Every structure is written in C-alpha cells, then in structure tokens.
C-alpha cells in the first residue's frame, strides 16, 4: 500500500499543470460567458498529449497509467471543467467505445484523428423521455437491404452533440436482443442538430441529435455486445466526472483559502474564524477521500479491468461533494461569491452538472446496492404507498 | 501508488477478526452490562500479538508497521463486538507504549515494553485534567525536583485503564514560567507512594473499558522514570501521541462499520414487511449504500494516514487528523443508520448494535474532538501559526 507519485508522474504533473494554468485556465471565464471553447483548445490539448493518454501505443496513444490519467483530468478540470468535458467525452468516452466495441475501420477513420485532436466524438445515449431506463430507448436501426441500414430516432442532452464529427449511438437493432451501437458520421444528410442551453459547463456543447433515415453500412452497426464489455467503456464516462468534480472542488478550496487569508473583518483575516475552518477542513477531507478512491478506480481501468462498483461509488461521492465544496466556497466569499467577477459562482454552476451527468447518483446508488441485497435494479414493483400509511382515498 | 492489499495483510486482518469473534465477542454483552474488566482477555490479546504489534521483537513485539497495526485493529473490530476493550488496547499500546518505545530511555523500554507486550502490565496515559482536555498544556499537576526524586501533586481524569493499569504516562508542569515547554512526562506506577486511583467513572458507552481519575498527593517518582531525555517532555510526546491516536486509536471502527453493514444487509434481505423483504424499499437501500460508500472512503483515508505515519510523510499530522475526523463521523452515521434499519430491534439492550451506538458517541469527543480537528486541518491549509 503506497500513495506516493513516481518521478515520472511528478514530472508529468508539473508539466501538464503548467500547460493548464497558462493556456486553459485564462480562457475559462470567457468560454463560460460565450458558451464556446477557444479555437486553440484542441490543438493545445493535442500537443500536450492529452487525447493520447487514454489509448494504446498501437493507435498512437501513450497508454498512461491510472494515476497519470487522474492527474491530467484533475488538472484540466480545475482549469476549465467545460474543456475537460468536451475533450474527454471525445477521447475518453466516445474513444473508448470506438476502441472496445467498434471495428478497425472505425479506429482508422475516427479514433486516430480524435487522438490527434482533428476530429471530435460524442456518445448519444439519452433520449427525450429516457435516461436511466436504457431499456426503453426508442432509437432504431433497421436493415433495408443487403449491407444497408437506416437509423431513426432522437437523442437529447448529448455532450459535444452540436460540434461532433462522429457519434456512437445507442440503438435498438430490429430483431436483435440487447444494446446495439451505430457509428454515425454526423455530417451525413439526415442528421439534424440543435443546442440545449444549460446552467453550467456552458462552454461544453450540449444538444439534440435527430436521425431521419440516416444511412449506415453493415460495418457501422455493432450488435449486442456483452454487458461487461460495454461497462468497460461506459465507466470512463463516470471516471472523468470524478476527476472533474475533484478539480472543481480543489479550485473551490484554493479560492476559499486565498480569500480567507486576504479578506479582513473585525480587524483580522476571516481565516481566523472557526466556521471558515470548518468549511475548509470538510472540503479538504472530502476531496482527499474522492481522490484516493478515484485514483484506485482509474488504476484498475487503465489496466483494462472493470472497476464496477468502485467507480460508481467514486462518482456518487465526488460529484456530490463537489457541489458541497462549491457551496462552502460561495459561503466563504459571501456577497462576492454571487458576483460573476469571482470564480466561485462558475464552479458552483459547473459542479451541479455532475450529479446527473452520465448516470445520476440516485441511479448509481441503485446499481451499487442492488446486487448486495438481491434486488433487480431494472424492475420496480408496483406498490400501494397510501394504504399502509392510512392515507388511501376510499 | 499501489492500492492492493497483500495477501499476508488480509490474512493478518482476518486472523485478528477470528480471534475477536472467538475470544472477546461471547462475553462482550455481559461485561458491558456488568461494567466488568476481565484480565484474562488482555493476556490472550497479548499472546495473539495484538498488544505489542508495533514494538520491535527484541522488546517482545511483532515489529508491525503502523499500517499493519491498523489492519489488526480493523480485523479485531469486526470480530470482537467490543469497542471498550479495543480502546483499552489502543490506549495501552499507542498512548503509553509508543512514547516509551520512541522517546524512552533504553532502560525504560526494557523494563516496560516486554510485559506490555504480553499484557501482564497494562499501561495508560494520564494527561487530561478537569481543566485541561483539548488544551493539554493547561494542566495544573506540578512536579518538583527534590534530590533524585520528583514530587507530583495534582489529579488526572478520563484515564482509560486507570483502575487496572500497572503504570501511566503522566504529564506534569515542572517549570510554569516556560509554559508548554516546561511540561515533563513521567512513568508513574500506582505502587509508588502518594498515588491514589480515584473513583471509577461510569460512562454512556465503552463500559467494558475501565476509566477513572488518578490523584497524586506528594507522589514520589524516581528520576529514572522521567520519560526519555531532559527535553523528551510534552513538546515531543504531544505531537507523537496526536499522530498515533488519530491514525490508530479508533481504527477498529473500520471493522465495526463492516460488521454493521453485513448485519444490515442480512436483515434487509430477511426482514419481511408488506409481503416482501425490506430491501425492496428504496429508502432502505439508500441507507445501505451510503453506509457502503462511507466505509469504503473511511478505509482508504485511514490506510493513507497509516502509510503517512510509517513514512513520516510531509503531511503526516494533517493526514492523521483527516482520517480520524472522517472515521469518527462516518462510523457514528453508519451505526445510527444500522440502528434505524433494524427498527425497534435496534433498541434492545445486550445486542451488538445498541452497544455499538452507545460506544460510538465517544468517537467525535476523544483523541481530538471534531471541532478541534477541523481547526487543525484548516490551520494546516491556511498556514496559520
């Protein structure tokens, strides 16, 4: 059991944190205001080697270990959460699905350019009326001729949707059991997109993808993979949110420390008030706990293992504690926390998106505990809640 | 970074758990009800290698690291159902034994550590006074040098192992003008002239541990029982005890949390209401999963603190405070949640959960109150002097 960094990890941390500090963080505020990332972002991250961290060397990746990945994601999340989201949805979630589920042609056509920062990927799962209940997704792929398929449906709340070049789409393949994927070139006619305005992570494009008779080749339809294999990819969506939350919370803690040391009231810095101590201490404890668990999950996943309940628990804790941390920072800043002149209100808005991002923490709680108590998390029995409480309407 | 637990470590933890289950748990309820100390149990814990775990083999110990010792505590907590005797062990080993080992003279180590390892001599730590708890330097017990002896006058309270201890580390002011720098630590045996073991203090929980006052009235302590060298006083002992107590003293609660979770999981799947196991109700599942998450996190924070202690890492003191703060508060929430889940059954006396609930109340009070620890952690972050 050891918790220290190797020399290599330490060197990477210094270098990558400097890049984030110098090239990403200074633009975060404007990005949030305008709702778009600066032009140079993708090139900066590509040159920094960010996209490559997630993938094997045979693909042009750098096969980073879990701790290095965690360091990178936390640093980027601390600098600009929207940037971390957009970049990692592309390489870390879409990229992982392309690598683990899809074919060599997809690796050449889409994944290699994603690693170079030349193309942007997204994952289209959620629909208008379905998120957690993936079994009721309506988007359909049907075969219309030899080697020819059509995809029809609507996907909403899709990160990177408005700007992506390719989407890995969750769809129901006619006459097939289980979840299938369609790799869709989003520049095809028949694909329509629009943006959804959102409270935080505002520079991370978020929107709707509509597929109207979009044609797919046989190659682009990937049938019913095993749930375990799918999980190995989907988990990356949870993992990066852990580190984004940790980054946001760390930014909130640093801002709180700095403000407490400089803001004076009643003749001394407010750092001397015990309520301020309490807030800063709780933030630190929760961040440390989140980081330890997330790095453990990252280490497993980088080795190709399924982290399972570990990464789900990490996401539950990290996302919820980041909101608490941002709230604590807002209270330390008091009135100034409410102003857009200071970073804390953006940290707060950004943190909120992680509770429901990917899988909601409510849903993840069910997924974590159901196996322990032999309950099926896909079936909810009808139950008359009123009668036992004596409240039923006659 | 390496998050894996070696097989030898898992086995050691499991062995401690099995020992607790076999030797301690069967009599825990009765000893709690009767507030009775059973000396034979401590000797068995000694023979099992628990009491002397961190001390070098040449003093009768097992040479375990702080991390390995935390694992033993964890296993013992899971099996023993007895937080009182676990606290007696921790007080004996971490608050008395560790300072003797690390700051004592060779003569002191050779005299006290071997019988402490077997359990035939029980040690304690007498620092708190009616007017000095979170502020350990506000003590009034005085030590005055007379010839080759020190004469102690004053009284100590909240002394775990007070009624049954063979010797205690006692803090006393030798030079009031130097404040904290003028506090020395003495190894005092109740057999010395002028020591009286005061009334046993009956408490809400931890009733299988024996807690009392110690009164010194012209108590004569030989110079060779002054702990360590001339400057091995409070300034050295204070921080040493702080980092060991915050890292190790309550580590057995990691095991208590695991035991509570397992009890609850079983209960939730077996207890039927409205024609189905109560695990079918989302509110029950929410309680269970939050227990699972906080246990998972507490473990890692405690392991990290123990490794920091072994390595004397840069933030060893802060890591210890973080671990203790999180463990104490999450253990209390977990036990409260477990009680809740069991409905009225959780309230029944002589049952492990009801006892654990009472025992857990001390967690946020002793070994650095939560309020104090929050300021310690913040002080470290803010670089407050």
Closest Cβ opposite residue A281 in set B268, B293, B377: B377
Is residue A80 over pLDDT 70? yes
Is residue A392 over pLDDT 70? no
Closest Cβ opposite residue B2 in set A2, A261, A369: A2
Contact criterion met (CB < 8 Å) for B292 and A313? yes
Mean pLDDT of A28-36: 97
Chain A contact for B300 (CB, 8 A cutoff): yes
What are the pLDDT digits (tens) for A109-126? 999 999 999 999 999 999
The 3-state secondary structure of chain A reads CECCCCHHHHHHHHHHHHHHHHHHHHHHHHHHHHCCCCCCHHHHHHHHCCHHHHCCHHHCCCCCCHHHHHHHHHHHHHHCHHHHHHHHHHHHHHHHHHHHHCCHHHHHHHHHHHHCCCCCEEEECCECCECCCHHHCCCEEEEEECCEEEEEEEEEEEECCCCCCEEEEEEEECCCCCCEEEEEECCCCCEEEEECCCCCCCCCCEEEEEEEEEEEEHHHEECCCCHHHHHHHHHHHHHHHHHHHHHHHHHHHHHHHHHHHHCEECCEEHHHCHHHHHHHHHHHHHHHHHHHHHHHHHHHHHCCCCCCHHHHHHHHHHHHHHHHHHHHHHHHHHHHHHCCCCCHHHHHHHHHHHHHCCCCHHHHHHHHHHHHHCCCCCCCCCCCCCHHHCCCCC
pLDDT for A394: 58
Rounded-to-integer distance, Cα B264 and Cα B238, Å: 39
pLDDT one digit per residue (tens) for chain B, 385 residues? 999 999 999 999 999 999 999 999 999 999 999 999 999 999 999 999 999 999 999 999 999 999 999 999 999 999 999 999 999 999 999 999 999 999 999 999 999 999 999 999 999 999 999 999 999 989 999 999 999 999 999 999 999 999 999 999 999 999 989 888 899 999 999 999 999 999 899 999 999 999 999 999 999 999 999 998 655 577 889 999 999 999 999 999 999 999 999 999 999 999 999 889 999 999 999 999 999 999 999 999 999 999 999 999 999 999 999 999 999 999 999 999 999 999 999 999 989 999 999 999 999 999 999 999 999 999 999 987 5
Chain B contact for A288 (CB, 8 A cutoff): yes
pLDDT for A66: 98
Closest Cβ opposite residue A281 in set B265, B290, B378: B378
For this structure, is B245 an active site residue?
Answer: yes
pLDDT for B228: 80
Is residue A390 over pLDDT 70? no
What are the pLDDT digits (tens) for A258-317? 999 999 999 999 999 999 999 999 999 999 999 999 999 999 999 999 899 999 999 999
Catalytic residue among B48, B78, B81, B245: B245
pLDDT for B231: 56
Using pLDDT thresholds of 50, 70 and 90, give the confidence band for residue A318. very high
* Closest CA in chain A for residue B285: A369
What are the pLDDT digits (tens) for A41-71? 999 999 999 999 999 999 999 999 999 999 9
Is residue A239 over pLDDT 60? yes
**Model confidence, pTM:** 0.97
Chain B contact for A365 (CB, 8 A cutoff): yes
What are the pLDDT digits (tens) for A185-195? 999 999 999 99
Using pLDDT thresholds of 50, 70 and 90, give the confidence band for residue A13. very high
Q: Please report residues of B whose CB lies closer than 8 A to that of A292.
A: 297, 300-301, 304
Chain A contact for B161 (CB, 8 A cutoff): no
DSSP bridge partners of A221:
A182
A72 neighbors A51 (Cβ within 8 angstroms):
no
B16's tokens = 């401690």
């Amino acid at each position: 059991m050891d918790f220290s960094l190797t020399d290599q990890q330490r060197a990477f941390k210094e270098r990558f944190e400097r890049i984030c500090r110098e090239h990403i963080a200074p633009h975060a505020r404007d990005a949030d205001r305008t709702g778009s990332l600066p032009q140079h972002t993708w090139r900066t991250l590509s040159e920094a080697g960010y996209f490559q961290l997630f993938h094997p060397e045979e693909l042009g990746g750098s096969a980073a270990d879990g701790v290095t990945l965690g360091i990178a994601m936390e640093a980027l999340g601390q600098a600009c959460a929207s940037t971390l989201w957009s970049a990692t949805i592309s390489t870390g979630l879409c990229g992982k699905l392309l690598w683990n589920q899809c074919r060599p042609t997809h690796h050449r056509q889409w994944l290699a350019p994603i690693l170079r920062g030349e193309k942007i990927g997204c994952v289209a799962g959620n629909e208008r009326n379905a998120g957690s209940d993936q079994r009721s997704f309506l988007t359909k792929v049907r075969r219309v001729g030899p080697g020819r398929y059509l995809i029809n449906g609507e996907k909403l709340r899709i990160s990177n949707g408005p700007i992506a070049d390719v989407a890995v789409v969750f769809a129901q393949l006619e006459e097939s059991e289980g979840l299938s994927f369609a790799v869709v070139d989003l520049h095809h006619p028949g694909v329509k997109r629009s943006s959804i305005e959102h409270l935080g992570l505002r520079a991370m494009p978020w929107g709707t993808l509509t597929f109207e008779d979009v044609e797919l080749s046989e190659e682009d339809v990937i049938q019913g993979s095993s749930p375990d294999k799918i999980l190995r990819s989907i988990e990356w969506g949870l993992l990066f949110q852990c580190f984004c939350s940790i980054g946001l919370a760390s930014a909130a803690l640093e801002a709180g420390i700095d403000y407490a040391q400089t803001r004076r009231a009643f003749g001394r810095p407010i750092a001397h008030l015990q309520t301020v101590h309490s807030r800063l201490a709780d933030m630190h404890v929760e961040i440390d706990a989140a980081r330890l668990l997330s790095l453990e999950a990252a280490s497993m996943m980088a080795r190709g293992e399924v982290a399972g309940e570990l990464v789900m628990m990490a996401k539950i804790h990290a996302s919820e504690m980041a909101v608490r941390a941002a709230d604590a920072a807002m209270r330390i800043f008091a009135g100034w926390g409410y102003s857009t002149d200071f970073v804390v209100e953006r940290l707060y808005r950004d943190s909120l998106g992680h509770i429901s991002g990917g899988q909601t923490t409510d849903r993840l709680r069910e997924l974590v505990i159901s196996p322990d108590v032999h309950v099926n998390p896909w079936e909810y029995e009808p139950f008359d809640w009123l009668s036992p409480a004596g409240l039923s309407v006659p | 970074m390496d998050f894996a637990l070696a097989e030898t470590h898992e086995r050691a933890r499991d062995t401690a758990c099995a020992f607790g289950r076999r030797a301690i748990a069967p009599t825990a309820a009765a000893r709690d009800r009767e507030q009775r100390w059973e000396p034979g149990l401590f000797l068995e814990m000694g023979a099992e290698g628990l009491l002397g775990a961190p001390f070098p083999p040449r003093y009768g110990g097992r040479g375990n690291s702080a991390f390995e010792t935390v694992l033993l505590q964890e296993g013992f907590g899971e099996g023993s159902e007895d937080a009182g005797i676990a606290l007696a062990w921790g007080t004996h080993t971490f608050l008395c034994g560790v300072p003797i080992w690390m700051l004592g003279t060779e003569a002191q180590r050779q005299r006290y550590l071997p019988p402490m390892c077997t359990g035939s001599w029980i040690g304690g730590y007498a620092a708190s006074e009616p007017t000095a708890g979170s502020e350990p330097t506000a003590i009034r017990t005085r030590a005055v040098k007379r010839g080759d002896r020190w004469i102690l006058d004053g009284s100590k309270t909240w002394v775990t192992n007070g009624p049954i201890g063979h010797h205690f580390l006692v803090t006393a002011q030798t030079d009031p003008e130097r404040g904290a720098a003028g506090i020395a630590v003495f190894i005092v045996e109740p057999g010395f002239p002028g020591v009286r073991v005061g009334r046993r203090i009956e408490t809400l929980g931890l009733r299988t541990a024996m807690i009392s006052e110690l009164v010194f009235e012209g108590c004569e302590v030989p110079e060779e029982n002054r702990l360590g060298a001339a400057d091995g006083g409070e300034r050295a002992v204070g921080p040493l005890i702080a980092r060991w107590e915050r890292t190790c003293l309550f580590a057995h609660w990691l095991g208590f949390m695991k035991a509570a979770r397992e009890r609850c999981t079983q209960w939730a799947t077996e207890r039927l209401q409205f024609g189905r196991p109560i695990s079918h109700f989302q509110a029950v599942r929410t309680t269970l999963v939050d227990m699972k998450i906080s246990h998972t996190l507490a473990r890692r924070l405690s392991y990290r603190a123990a490794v920091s202690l072994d390595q004397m890492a840069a933030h060893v003191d802060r890591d210890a405070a973080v671990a203790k703060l999180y463990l104490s508060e999450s253990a209390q929430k977990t036990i409260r949640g477990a009680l809740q889940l069991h409905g009225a059954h959780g309230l029944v006396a002589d049952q492990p959960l009801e006892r654990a609930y009472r025992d857990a109340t001390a967690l946020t009070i002793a070994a650095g109150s939560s309020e104090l620890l929050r300021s310690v952690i913040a002080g470290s972050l803010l670089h407050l002097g």
